[in-house]
Amino acid sequence: MVLDECVPYPCEYDYAAKSADLTARWAKRCKAVAAHSAAATNQLLFGIIQGGTFQDLRHASAQAIVELDFDGYAIGGVSVGEPEEEMMRAVESAEPFLPADRPRYAMGLGTPPQMLEMIARGMDMFDCVLPTRLARNGTAFTAAGTLNLKNAEFARDKRPIEENCACPACREFARGYIRHLIKAEEILGLRLITLHNLHSYLNLMSRARTEIERGTFDQFRKGFVTEYKTRDIAIVE
């Protein structure tokens, strides 16, 4: 990834404009260095699009970064505290300018519904701390929403975190036992939830790929997002 500046939310227009221009200048310098670096020969270099919540700045930033001909393109400065509709709008503003034959990366995202919505808007790649961060707080992701396994309701629950899940935690351990590990401050409990959450995210992306290949992704996305319920969760990326 090239060096960039991620502006905060909210951000004044003039600052966002100067920041996007700075990011573009850094990107040009990074591209030049990479072209003469032996260490970069086996790596792909991604340019990063900025511009805050301002549509015209997103347009200009995307055009400037794409002109530099990177191996892939990232949309940065999203999930920094802005409303979700602003997040989606930032991606929608940049996406039309991105080459169809290069990977598109939405930085710092997101919840399962957010990732599916981003895929629907042309994104290919994501990174997110939520599977591990929330696991450290005892929260597990499922297809129907999140479960806070610290809650007393799970104390004697003999079911796995998620039915029909093939992850190591769900194959071998019950919700009640994992809750016991968490309450006893045994690190294994958090590791098991982490394994489950990572498996859940990877499984969702695999399912999305399959649905795209079948031509049924839009129906899958709409059904998943409609049924998904977020509980006991505060998203701070």
Tell me the domain boundaries of the chain. Answer: 13-107, 130-227
| Assigned token pair, 210 | 């399959």
| pTM attached to this predicted model | 0.90
Contacts by 178-181, CB closer than 8 A, 24 or more apart: 178/149, 178/154, 179/138, 179/149, 179/150, 179/151, 179/154, 179/155, 180/155
pLDDT of residue 35: 84
Give pLDDT tens digits along the chain (237 positions): 999 999 999 999 999 999 999 999 999 999 999 888 766 667 899 999 999 999 999 999 999 999 999 999 999 999 999 999 999 999 999 999 999 999 999 999 999 999 999 999 999 999 999 999 999 999 999 998 999 999 999 999 999 999 999 999 999 999 999 999 999 999 999 999 999 999 999 999 999 999 999 999 999 999 999 988 655 444 443
**Checking phi first, is residue 123 left (phi over 0); if not, alpha (psi -120 to 50) or beta?**
beta
Between CA 98 and CA 176 the distance in angstroms is 47
- Whether residue 27 contacts residue 47, with contact meaning beta carbons closer than 8 Å, is answered with yes
Alpha carbon of residue 6 to chain centroid = 16
Pick the closest to residue 90 from 77, 102, 100, 73 (CA basis). 77
Closest Cα to residue 3, out of 54, 65, 60?
A: 65
pLDDT of residue 42: 78
How buried is 166 (Cβ within 10 angstroms: 0-12 exposed, 13-18 middle, 19+ buried)? exposed
Q: What is the enclosing helix (H) or strand (E) of 110?
A: none
